Each structure stands twice: as structure tokens, then as C-alpha cells.
Amino acid sequence: MNEKVSNRPFDLLSDSIGKPVLVELKENTAVRGTLKAFDIHMNLVLEDAEKLVGGEPKNRYGKMLLRGDTVLLISP
């Protein structure tokens, strides 16, 4: 098993750069896209982003900046 263990939350995010993530936001909103960047405030930059409704893609946005105070969950 060569899987890297993430000891801190930012390690998990760093390991997810360039990979698809699912982000749950306030107001029962979900966004899926490729994580390109993040900062200490949990602001996220996604590429090929799309809003999900009922688990299905509804709107495509391309590049998207998500403000950290709206993020509830990030799943790699």
C-alpha cells in the first residue's frame, strides 16, 4: 500500500489539487469540479465546475471561485 496518509486538513486539499472534488455548500447546493487552488480561508478555485441538483448536473460554469464561508464539505 503506497497511499499517502494526510495528517492535516490542508494536506488532503493539497493532495486533491488537479483532481475532481465534490463541494457541498450552504443552501443545499452542491458543485463538482477540478480543484485548482485554495487558501487558508477555504476559498476554492474549481475548473470545469458544474452545479448539481439531485445529484445530476444542472448548470456548467467552467472556472468558479467559491467563497470559503459558504463551504460545508469537500469530498475528494
Among the residue ranges 3-17, 25-39, 41-55, the one predicted with the least confidence is 3-17
Tell me the pLDDT band of 46, cut-offs 50, 70 and 90: very high
Q: Kindly give, in sequence order, each residue whose CB lies less than 8 Å from that of residue 27, ignoring residues fewer than 6 positions away.
A: none
DSSP for 7-40, please give it.
-SHHHHHHHHTTSEEEEEETTTEEEEEEEEEE-T
- Give residue 34's pLDDT: 98
Domains observed in the chain = 9-75 (2.30.30.100)
Position 4 scores a pLDDT of 64
* pTM summary value: 0.86
- Mean pLDDT value across the chain: 92
Residue 65 pLDDT exceeds 60: yes
